[in-house]
């Protein structure tokens, strides 16, 4: 799955598109997760991210996983130092979140995702 | 691989990685420890980035060791622009794949920490850069930015430890720069991780003049110079004063170099100064120190040798003009490239900087004669101790290079020994110029106070600056010391008059004698005449007697016949 193919987009087809659009003001969340191999931290980060997105902006997001062991040159573009790093490409401004995304509260603040209700 | 390296270390000592920075390799005995990280510490603006950049560029251009520069503070463009002013062409080296510059940007406000992380991203980037150019050298400038940019220092420290270990296993020679700390060496205690070699850069301001200094704090497994060494950053990068110039191991030359003034050469046993010796010319204001120095420079150039003239009082054109007034054309030597005049005010920079700059110029120009005019101006910007130590180093350096040096020294009292900036003991030859005031006149006198290893005149001579050069005249000894100037001229006239007088007297005496001889002659003639007269009289009388006798005898015969005697 993830990591094997870098730049692999995993858009979630949303039956709930309409509802999400109203909640997130029709925003599209373009997210990019940088990892270096399938370490426990990376796997945890991906699982956590997916869970949060599903819960808060279902159907309006894309997650691109980039494995730096495969494409080290991509680290430069987004100024990646720490692993794992989640980059919110859209909506602007770009935000960066480092760590395994286990602290949901901070991920929501960092991504500026409004929690439901 | 690690064990192989260890074995090698045991057998042939620590391998060094030359920096190519003038002076630094001498201090460290060959360079930085190869395959190990070195920490360069200093406060803001002390030259850390420059040192590390020069290390990389020299590696790429001189030692065929490509490098990676990881910049945490400046972008690649800024960096290459900044060092371009120092003569480094980063862009070209990047294009030739000799150098890789990676700008790492971290902004705390853009980063949210949400759990465990590591710095694998940095490792990956660094590894990629190293691989892309085949780097043997790595610079991290300055990694401490991570402490400000990333939360959770505990993770960071663990990761840094891992990073430096990783760099060692990669076998690259790394330079890590760090900001100077308040209580520890670096602000974030980087010395804990990088402990093989620590270089400390300092930028100190004393009396509003700044001096850069470098010190090797530690160097595991190698001897190194432990002092603070002044260094200079100019349009050609960094240069540190080499320590090899210190010491008293120079060889003494028997060769002599002319002073530029024939009469002065004669005063020095007929040849001039020894080659490679240090000459001090001391004197009060306006006694002709600069002129003497200029003649020395002129003589060196005339002999086809290069001369470097450090002028701390006059600009080049001023010096040229002034020397033309005493019949010296220095401009032709500068045109021929034999003479270089370096004019600067001593106050523009610290003493150590002057020293480093002078060293640099001497290294580049390779002169056989050096003039420092005057050294006393340097005292203005440093204490006596500093000046003495600086001049000691300079003179030792010049001697080891067999360069004859002439320094002038402005003194207030010509006779005071300490007046010569306390450096007279460093000097092999000391010429004192003094002004002699008498009869409402001020004249110049020259004498040789000392000249090691050669006989020399002990006389004070009179020293004249004319439009045909320097004339040295014999000094006249009057009843109140030596007589100079117009008094000397008067003395000369007087002496001449006395000489004429004496001659006249002699002539008169001669004439008198002649006259008396004539009188004597006359008297002899007179006596002779008297004697002749007497003699004649006597002869006449004697003749008369004889006649009378014969007449008487005849008469007697006549008478006898008349008597018919028997």
Residue A14 — pLDDT band, cuts 50, 70, 90? very low
Residue B506 — pLDDT band, cuts 50, 70, 90? very high
Q: What are phi and psi of B111, to 5 degrees?
A: -115, 130
Residue recorded with tokens 């001023």 = B318
Residue A25 — pLDDT band, cuts 50, 70, 90? low
Residue B443's SS3 state is strand
The reply to whether residue A76 touches residue B102, judged by beta carbons under 8 angstroms, is yes
Instruction: Name the closest residue on chain A to residue B132, using Cα atoms.
Output: A73
Q: Report if residue B519 sits inside a domain.
A: no
**Does residue B547 have a pLDDT over 70?**
yes
The better pLDDT of the pair B409, B516 is held by: B516
Q: Are B350 and B445 contained in the same domain? A: yes
Cis omega (within 30 of 0) on the bond before B142? yes
Tokens of B275: 């080659």
- Collect all residues of chain B within an 8 Å Cβ-Cβ radius of residue A85: 117, 121
The pLDDT of residue B504 is 94
The pLDDT of residue B264 is 85
Q: Report if residue B551 sits inside a domain.
A: no
* Domain count along chain B: 2
pLDDT digits (tens, 9 = 90+) for B232-260: 787 777 877 754 445 566 677 788 888 88
Q: Report if residue B457 sits inside a domain.
A: yes
Whole-number Å distance between alpha carbons of B365 and B340: 8
The better pLDDT of the pair A18, B105 is held by: B105
The reply to whether residue A99 touches residue B114, judged by beta carbons under 8 angstroms, is yes
Residue B142 — pLDDT band, cuts 50, 70, 90? confident
The reply to whether residue B112 touches residue A36, judged by beta carbons under 8 angstroms, is no
H or E stretch including B177?
Answer: strand B173-179
Residue A28 — pLDDT band, cuts 50, 70, 90? confident
CATH of the domain at B70: 3.40.50.300
**A71 has a chain B CB within 8 A of its CB:** no
Q: Are B195 and B266 contained in the same domain? A: no
Domain of residue B110, residue span: 2-240
Residue B146 — pLDDT band, cuts 50, 70, 90? confident
The pLDDT of residue A114 is 63
Q: Dihedral angle at the C-alpha atoms of B112, A60, A49, A62, nearest 10 degrees?
A: -90
**Does residue B516 have a pLDDT over 90?**
yes
Residue B467's SS3 state is coil
The better pLDDT of the pair A11, A62 is held by: A62
Q: Report if residue B73 sits inside a domain.
A: yes
Q: Report if residue B515 sits inside a domain.
A: no
The pLDDT of residue B501 is 93
The pLDDT of residue B527 is 94
* Residues B384-413, mean pLDDT to the nearest whole number: 80
**Does residue A11 have a pLDDT over 50?**
no
The pLDDT of residue B481 is 65
The pLDDT of residue A116 is 47
Residue B441 — pLDDT band, cuts 50, 70, 90? confident
The reply to whether residue B113 touches residue A97, judged by beta carbons under 8 angstroms, is yes
Write down the pTM of the prediction.
0.66
* Residues B138-148, mean pLDDT to the nearest whole number: 86
List the single best residue of B69, B109, B112, B128 to mutate versus A (max A Cβ within 10 A): B112
Whole-number Å distance between alpha carbons of B121 and A79: 9
**Does residue B503 have a pLDDT over 50?**
yes
**Does residue B494 have a pLDDT over 70?**
yes
Residue B529 — pLDDT band, cuts 50, 70, 90? very high
The pLDDT of residue B250 is 67
**Does residue B346 have a pLDDT over 60?**
yes
DSSP state of B237: E
Q: Are B413 and B302 contained in the same domain? A: yes
Q: What are phi and psi of B417, to 5 degrees?
A: -70, -35
Q: Are B202 and B278 contained in the same domain? A: no
At residue B24's C-alpha, the angle toward residues B21 and B29, to 5°, is 125
Q: Are B36 and B60 contained in the same domain? A: yes
The CA-to-CA distance between both ends of chain B, in Å, stands at 180
Nearest CB to A106 within list B106, B114, B117 = B114
Residue B186 — pLDDT band, cuts 50, 70, 90? confident
Q: Are B273 and B414 contained in the same domain? A: yes
Q: Are B416 and B368 contained in the same domain? A: yes
The pLDDT of residue B242 is 58
Distances in Å between the Cα of B51 and the Cα atoms of A93, B54, B67, B216 are 37, 5, 14, 13
Q: Are B215 and B130 contained in the same domain? A: yes
Instruction: Assess contact for B38 and B191: CB atoms under 8 A.
Output: no
The reply to whether residue A83 touches residue B118, judged by beta carbons under 8 angstroms, is yes
The reply to whether residue B111 touches residue A98, judged by beta carbons under 8 angstroms, is yes
Task: Report ipTM for this prediction.
Answer: 0.76
* Residues B152-171, mean pLDDT to the nearest whole number: 88
Instruction: Assess contact for B356 and B231: CB atoms under 8 A.
Output: yes
* Residues B169-180, mean pLDDT to the nearest whole number: 90
Q: Are B220 and B264 contained in the same domain? A: no
Nearest CB to A82 within list B102, B119, B128 = B119
Tokens of B354: 């002057």
Q: Are B380 and B463 contained in the same domain? A: yes
The reply to whether residue B119 touches residue A98, judged by beta carbons under 8 angstroms, is no
CATH class, range A8-111: alpha beta
**A83 has a chain B CB within 8 A of its CB:** yes
**Does residue B8 have a pLDDT over 50?**
no
Q: Give the helix ranges, DSSP H, for B202-330.
A: 262-267, 289-302, 316-324
- Collect all residues of chain A within an 8 Å Cβ-Cβ radius of residue B105: 79
Q: Are B139 and B277 contained in the same domain? A: no
Q: How far is CA B513 from the centre of its chain?
A: 68
**Does residue A65 have a pLDDT over 70?**
yes
The better pLDDT of the pair B334, B246 is held by: B334
**Does residue A105 have a pLDDT over 50?**
yes
Q: Are B9 and B158 contained in the same domain? A: yes
Whole-number Å distance between alpha carbons of B220 and B489: 74
The pLDDT of residue B511 is 95
Q: Report if residue B493 sits inside a domain.
A: no
Residue A117 — pLDDT band, cuts 50, 70, 90? very low
**Does residue B333 have a pLDDT over 60?**
yes
Mean of the per-residue pLDDT values for chain B?
A: 83
**A68 has a chain B CB within 8 A of its CB:** yes
Q: Report if residue B425 sits inside a domain.
A: yes
Q: Report if residue B193 sits inside a domain.
A: yes
The CA-to-CA distance between both ends of chain A, in Å, stands at 33
Residue B408 — pLDDT band, cuts 50, 70, 90? confident
């Amino acid at each position: 799955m993830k990591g094997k193919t870098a730049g692999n987009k995993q858009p979630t087809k949303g039956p709930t598109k309409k509802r999400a659009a109203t909640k997130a003001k029709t925003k599209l969340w373009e997210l990019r997760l940088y990892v270096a191999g399938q370490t426990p931290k990376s796997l945890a980060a991906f699982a956590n991210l997916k869970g949060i997105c599903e819960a808060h902006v279902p159907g309006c997001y894309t997650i691109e996983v980039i494995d730096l062991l495969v494409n080290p040159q991509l680290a430069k573009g987004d100024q990646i130092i720490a692993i794992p790093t989640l980059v919110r490409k859209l909506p602007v401004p770009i935000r960066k979140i480092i760590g395994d995304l286990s602290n949901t509260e901070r991920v929501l603040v960092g991504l500026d995702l409004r929690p439901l209700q | 691989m690690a064990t192989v390296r260890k074995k090698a270390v045991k057998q042939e000592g620590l391998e060094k990685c030359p920096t190519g920075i003038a002076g630094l390799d001498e201090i460290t005995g060959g360079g930085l420890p190869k395959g190990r990280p070195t920490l360069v510490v200093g406060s803001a603006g002390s030259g850390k980035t420059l040192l590390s950049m020069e290390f990389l560029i020299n590696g790429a251009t001189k030692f065929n060791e490509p490098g990676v520069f990881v910049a945490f503070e400046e972008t690649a463009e800024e960096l290459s622009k900044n060092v371009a002013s120092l003569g480094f062409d980063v862009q070209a080296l990047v294009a030739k794949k000799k150098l890789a510059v990676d700008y790492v940007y971290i902004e705390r406000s853009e980063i949210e920490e949400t759990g465990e992380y590591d710095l694998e991203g940095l490792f990956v980037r660094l590894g990629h850069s190293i691989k892309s150019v085949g780097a043997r050298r790595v610079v991290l400038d300055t990694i401490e930015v991570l402490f400000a940019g990333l939360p959770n220092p505990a993770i960071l420290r663990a990761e840094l430890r891992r990073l430096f270990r990783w760099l060692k296993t990669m076998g690259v020679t790394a330079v890590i720069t760090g900001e100077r700390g308040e209580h520890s060496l670096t602000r974030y205690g980087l010395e804990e991780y990088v402990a093989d070699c620590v270089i400390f850069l300092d930028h100190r301001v004393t009396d509003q003049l700044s001096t850069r200094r470098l010190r090797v704090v530690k160097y595991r497994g190698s001897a190194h110079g432990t002092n603070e060494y002044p260094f200079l950053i100019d349009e050609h990068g960094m240069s540190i004063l080499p320590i090899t110039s210190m010491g008293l191991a120079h060889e003494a030359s028997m060769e002599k170099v002319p002073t530029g003034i024939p009469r002065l050469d004669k005063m020095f046993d007929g040849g001039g100064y020894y080659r490679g010796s240090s000459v001090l010319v001391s004197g009060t204001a306006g006694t002709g120190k600069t002129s003497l120095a200029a003649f020395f420079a002129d003589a060196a150039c005339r002999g086809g040798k290069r001369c470097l003239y450090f002028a701390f009082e006059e600009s080049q054109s001023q010096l040229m003009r002034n020397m033309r007034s005493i019949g010296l054309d220095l401009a032709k030597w500068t045109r021929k490239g034999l003479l270089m005049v370096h004019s600067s005010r001593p106050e523009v920079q610290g003493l150590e900087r002057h020293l480093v700059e002078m060293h640099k110029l001497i290294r580049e120009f390779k002169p056989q004669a050096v003039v420092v005019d005057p050294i006393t101006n340097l005292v203005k910007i440093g204490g006596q101790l500093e000046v003495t130590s600086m001049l000691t180093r300079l003179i030792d350096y010049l001697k080891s290079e067999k360069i004859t040096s002439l320094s002038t020294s402005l003194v207030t009292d010509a006779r005071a020994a300490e007046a010569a900036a306390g450096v007279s003991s460093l000097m092999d030859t000391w010429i004192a110029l003094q002004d002699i005031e008498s009869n409402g006149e001020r004249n110049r006198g020259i004498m040789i106070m000392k000249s090691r290893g050669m006989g020399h005149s002990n006389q004070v001579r009179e020293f004249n600056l004319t439009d045909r050069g320097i004339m040295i005249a014999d000094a006249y000894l009057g009843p109140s010391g030596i007589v100079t100037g117009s008094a000397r001229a008067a003395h000369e006239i007087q002496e001449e008059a006395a000489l004429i007088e004496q001659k006249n007297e002699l002539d008169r005496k001669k004439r008198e004698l002649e006259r008396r001889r004539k009188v004597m002659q006359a008297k002899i003639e007179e006596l002779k005449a008297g004697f002749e007269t007497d003699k004649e009289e006597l002869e006449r009388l004697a003749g008369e007697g004889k006649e009378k006798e014969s007449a008487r005898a005849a008469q007697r015969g006549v008478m006898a016949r008349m008597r018919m005697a028997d």
